[in-house]
Amino acid sequence: MAREKADLSAKLLTWYDAHRRDLPWRAKPNELADPYRVWLSEIMLQQTNVTTVKPYFAAFLKRWPHVKALAAAPREEVMQAWAGLGYYARARNLHACAIHVAEKLDGIFPTTRDGLLELPGIGPYTAGAIAAIAYDERQAAVDGNVERVITRAFALETPLPDVKLQVREITQSLVPAKRAGDFAQAMMDLGSGICTPKNPDCRLCPWELSCQAKRLGIAESLPRRKQKPKVPHRHGIAWWIERADGAVLLRRRSDKGLLGGMLEMPSSGWADASENLFGGSDTGLRVTHTFTHFHLELAIWNAAPPKKLPGPDYHWAKRESLANEALPSVMRKAVAAALGADVLKKKKP
């Protein structure tokens, strides 16, 4: 079995040498990877695809070319630059991690998976990926793409998430003593470009002849997944409050919880649409947005501007500046609905 796994690793690396993707954060052959670029890209790529991340990565790198520059940036600017990438806790942790590395580690990232795991916002997958790609530590980096490749290659029919530990153990056993970073990136490329969820192009796969799922004719059915529970529907109110001079009232959400630290049109709790904070009247406009664990419908209400700010988390923003505010996607939809047109298309970073 050890020899078979070594053969699989060798075939994968040979394929990678011929077909590797050219990505802006990826070092060229025989070049050392930049840990800052690797870390930044891996955080951005969580729950997001390469096409979406590319312009954000380029904008961040141009604005903050190294970790100390990012650490010195106000968090508000980082959140604004992140707006549109989603999963905003990543942006808060990104900034916190940059500050930690800059101030406590003199701008130098830890060189081991264990050391990386101590940093804010870095979990097992990200730590393994950075350790392998940036420092060639023999570590597995197991994301959704890798889970799909391994469950198919070894015909693992136990459903996710129960099979995750077995997938990680197999992947770790495949990582070669040398070129661990190339192996990690090869697995990512194989999963994203060849061993796709639907219609995998097995003819181009370096593991075609040894793939057990291909032999059994069950490749597209793997990985198995437990049936997900129904996504609950929640309702809330978002208030469009505009002064005579055109300034719009915004509120910063608490750092804790969903969309923490992001800006919003003031809204009720999303579990109880009857919570009426500002009075006013229902415009009849509705905005829907699906999060990971629930589906949200927001009613857009108009209300008169308060005589003074309701609290320290509120501020007035000019209409023309709304496109550059740190508004999450659901609030961009709400603002666009209130304005009657989609004027909030954020410029590409």
Q: What is the pLDDT of residues 243-272, one digit of tens each?
A: 999 899 999 998 888 888 889 999 988 876
CB 139 within 8 A of CB 132: yes
SS3 label, residue 282: strand
Domains of the chain with CATH codes: 2-221 (1.10.340.30), 233-339 (3.90.79.10)
Query: What's the pLDDT tens digit per position in 100-118?
Result: 999 999 999 999 999 999 9
pLDDT confidence of residue 229: 81
H/E element, 330? helix 329-339
- Asked if pLDDT for residue 346 goes beyond 90, the answer is no
76 is catalytic: no
Q: 297 has which bridge partners?
A: 235, 288
pLDDT digits (tens, 9 = 90+) for 140-164: 999 999 999 999 999 999 999 999 9
Over the chain, what is the mean pLDDT?
91
For residues 280-295, give the mean pLDDT. 90
Catalytic residue among 42, 137, 147, 325: 42
The strand ranges marked E within the chain are: 233-240, 248-252, 263-264, 281-290, 295-302, 314-317
For residue 348, pLDDT beyond 70: no
Buried b / exposed e over 292-325, threshold 16 CB at 10 Å, is eeeebebbbbbbeeeeeeeeeeeeebeeeebeeb
Q: Among candidates 211, 213, 273, 206, which has minimal Cα distance to 238?
A: 273
